[in-house]
Structure 1
Amino acid sequence: MESAPAKGTLYLIPCFIAETDYREVLPEKIREVVVPLQYFAVENIRSARRFIRRILPDKPIDPLTFYDIGKRSDRTVAREALTPCRQGFDLGVISEAGVPAVADPGALVVREAHRLDIPVVPLSGPSSLLMALMASGLSGQNFAFNGYLPIDPTARANRLRQLEKRSEAESSAQLFIETPFRNGQMLQAILGACSPTTLLTVACDLTSPQQYIHTRSIARWRTQPPEGLDRRPTVFILQKLRSHDD
């Protein structure tokens, strides 16, 4: 009786978060891993093909197999995407931007890989959330990513106050994002809902020549608001310091 083939490895492959020379933001290890790969589970096939073409212009793209995990993300899709690994072939996971499987449908693929005892190897690369937190000066000991906040103005204001209260009670940094074309609306909502002493980090266009990162009090942001945030990928971080943290 023949033994089952050894399982392939699941590689988590970071990609760009801005239009820049890949050599400035991606370690060479990523290219080394991608060179032999023939199978990919991706959030967006078009952007994944473009990413591979940029870092490996000589690698044939058409023979590659892509599993779309972005349009419908569930266990069935994740298990299907892992077919190559179950057959002994390595598989790469690529997000639309930054590191895969963090606030990303790739997480389900990783979870299923662990369930199937498939080796998982994360590669280092740019993460807008981690880079924004690093540059914020806010709590790196206790923080939470809250994804997108409500669009409804009243619900959004209430949620902002909840995050502000939580940040003070827990001495924690609260990260969240918005669809880029609504960044200006989000900023105005923050300035209207939060206490003047609360700190706010605005980090946009990370790793690009236009990168903008500032942490200021709400009171100061009200007098010195940033211009042109709309349509620029942005991470917002809130933290209301307790008196002994200030």
Structure 2
Amino acid sequence: MDHSGTLYVVATPIGNLQDISLRALEVLKAVDVVAAEDTRHTAGLLSHFALQKKLVAVHEHNERKAGEQLIQRLQAGESVALVSDAGTPGVSDPGAVVVDLAHAAGIKVVPLPGASAVVAALSASGVMTPGFQFHGFLPASGSQRRSALQSLADVAVTLVFYEAPHRVLDSVEDMATVLGQDRTLIIARELTKTFETIHRLPLAQAREWLEADSNRQRGEFVLLVAPAPVKEVAVLDDEAVRVLTLLLAELPLKQAVKLATEITGAKKNALYELALSLKQS
């Protein structure tokens, strides 16, 4: 018979302690061990709710070794609550390695949903799209950051990033350069905390707005970039296609496209793309 314990993945508040769920409090009270990203931070959370628990540090520098030790505890029948400093473990925070080890060992994993800076920012953004892409933190290097943004330039859903205060100015400037000056940016700062800020503006104005008040550059950031505008696709009618096909049989490509544009009034770029396709086929 399997007497293994359960690994609970527990979301904790991202700022306002009152956002903790009743279920999270029940689990934190009942488990044998709390695995925490920063034991000092989590000790403060537990103390606020008059809870005393054995704490084990599980952070980015020791996650695999600490995770293996937690698996031994779980296999011995102990129950473990996994928490990060704020929000949901494993989402741009340590936790995924421990959960992966638990699944590999056949340990039962139970998620306790709760606060998420990504979802909170999206809900307050007012940006209406069929989906979003969450990318966590962009690379610290300017060239790598711009390269990462370039790969996202044509994505037609909301882009969501975390950013640190010491990089936010450079990040929004790179976003404006790579993604487009006119795209809407939502700056969500210090969500659920005393100085919470949610501000919408064009990317072209983002750096200037942040620099206008040094307080705007403090805290933890979620940056949401509205989708890339949908590119219009020119549709050629049958007559334009017929004329271009006849001209291509007798003339060089550029000349055929120029004459077809003059004769039919169709878009030159659309005729040129069709001409290339016809020539290749």
Normalised by the length of structure 2, the TM-score is: 0.72
Unaligned runs of 5+ in 2: 233-281
Partner of 1:15: 12
Q: In the aligned structure 2, how far is the partner of 1:136 from the partner of 1:71?
A: 34
1:72 matched to 2:72: no
> 8 Å contact 2:88–2:115 — kept in the other structure?
yes
Q: How does 1:81-96 map to 2 (within 5 A)?
A: 81-96=70-85
Q: 1:205 aligned to 171, 186, 190, which one?
A: 190
Q: Residue 95 of structure 1: CA displacement?
A: 0.2
Match for 2:29 among 16, 31, 35?
Answer: 35
For residues 212-227 of structure 1, the aligned pairs below 5 Å read: 212-219=197-204, 221=206, 224-225=209-210, 227=213
Q: Judge conservation of contact 1:12–1:120 (CA < 8 Å) in 2.
A: yes
Rg larger in 1 or in 2? 2
Residue aligning to 1:186: 171
Q: Which has the higher helix share?
A: 2
Q: Distance in 1 between matches of 2:123 and 2:217?
A: 23
For 2:95 and 2:30, locate their aligned partners in 1 and report how far apart those are by CA, in whole Å.
Answer: 21
Q: Which has the higher contact order (CA 8 A, sep 6+)?
A: 1
Structure 1 stretch 133-142 or stretch 106-115: which is displaced more?
A: 133-142
Once residues 180 and 55 of structure 2 are traced to their aligned partners in structure 1, the CA distance between those partners, rounded to angstroms, is: 51
Aligned to 1:240: 227
Please list, as runs of the form range in 1=range in 2, the aligned pairs for 1:65-214 lying within 5 A after superposition: 65-74=55-64, 76-138=65-127, 141-165=130-154, 167=155, 171-214=156-199
Structure 1 residues not aligned, in runs of 5+ = none
- Measured against aligned partners, the alpha-carbon deviations of 1:65-118 in whole angstroms (never above 9, x if no partner) come to 4142432233x4322222222111210001011111212220111122122222
- Paired with 1:11 and 1:237, the residues of 2 have a C-alpha distance of 30
Q: What is the root-mean-square deviation of aligned Cα atoms in Å?
A: 2.5
- Residues 140, 39 of structure 1: CA spacing in aligned structure 2 closer, same or farther, 3 A cutoff? farther
Say if 2:172 and 2:203, in contact at 8 Å, map to a contact too: no
What is the deviation of 1:131?
1.1
* Identity of matched residues, %: 25
Alignment-mate amino acid for residue 214 of structure 1? H
Aligned to 2:40: 46
Q: Distance in 1 between matches of 2:63 and 2:128?
A: 32
